[in-house]
A and B are shown apart, each in its own frame.
Chain A
């Protein structure tokens, strides 16, 4: 039972490149979400999903796309990477809207 698995753990991109951060969960949770964590700031919500086929924007959605075709997977796509997207990204799941959050181990992204 792995919980929440994020890949890759580290990635370096050049400005303008695109990539996808993967998130998979084996907890059968409805809710999945993506956060970014920057020094001196709290975790900020990028996008979230309340179930397969349903996604919505969070606090800082610009420059990111998501999709939720299955309960297990919630990939985060960077369409054209910018240095401002250098950050640590966390995927999280929860059973319902008020339940405990379970986080992945994070993906550290550097955009040059």
Chain B
């Protein structure tokens, strides 16, 4: 069964610190991997989409990495801000039909 596992489940960091969120998947065949940010009470918003050939992709202070061989991805947040407090969702698209596989998300709280 295709699965997407995210860790940690929740994380608390001080403003200005860096953090890394993990995503491991067993989805096959692989098409692309996405990271979404979901603010409380809002819909998810795309941060990055990475294909098989992309190892690193940045979006401002967010940097995603992908190791397609080990089926692992990470999302690194640099110099965190209070507005980074949100749930971060890893999503893996399979080439087999329209099959998006969602992780349960990592809840990040940035405190002053």
Residues of A participating in the B interface, judged by any CB pair closer than 8 Å = 4, 31, 40-45, 48, 50, 56, 90, 92, 97-98, 100-106
Closest 3 A/B residue pairs (Cβ): A103-B43, A42-B102, A43-B102
Q: List 11 A-B contacts (CB under 8 A).
A: A40-B104, A42-B105, A43-B102, A45-B100, A56-B98, A98-B32, A100-B34, A100-B49, A101-B91, A103-B45, A104-B43
Which residue, of A45, A90, A101, A103, has the highest number of chain B Cβ atoms within 10 A?
A101
B residues 72-112 near A (Cβ < 8 Å) are: 89, 91, 93, 98, 100, 102-105
Measured as residues with beta carbon below 8 angstroms from the partner, the interface class of chain B is: 20 to 34
Asked if B66 lies at the interface with its beta carbon under 8 angstroms from chain A, I say: no
User: Which residues from A are CB-within-8-Å of B102?
Assistant: 42-44
A-B contact count (CB 8 A): 44
A4 to B43, alpha carbons, bound, how many Å?
10
B43 x A42 contact (CB < 8 A): no
CB pair B43 A90 closer than 8 Å:
yes
Other-chain residue from A92, A102, A106 in contact with B42 (beta carbon distance below 8 A): A106
| A42 & B93 in contact (Cβ 8 Å cutoff) | no
Q: A41-B104, A98-B32 in contact; A50/B43 too (CB < 8 A)?
A: no
CB-based nearest A residue for B104:
A42
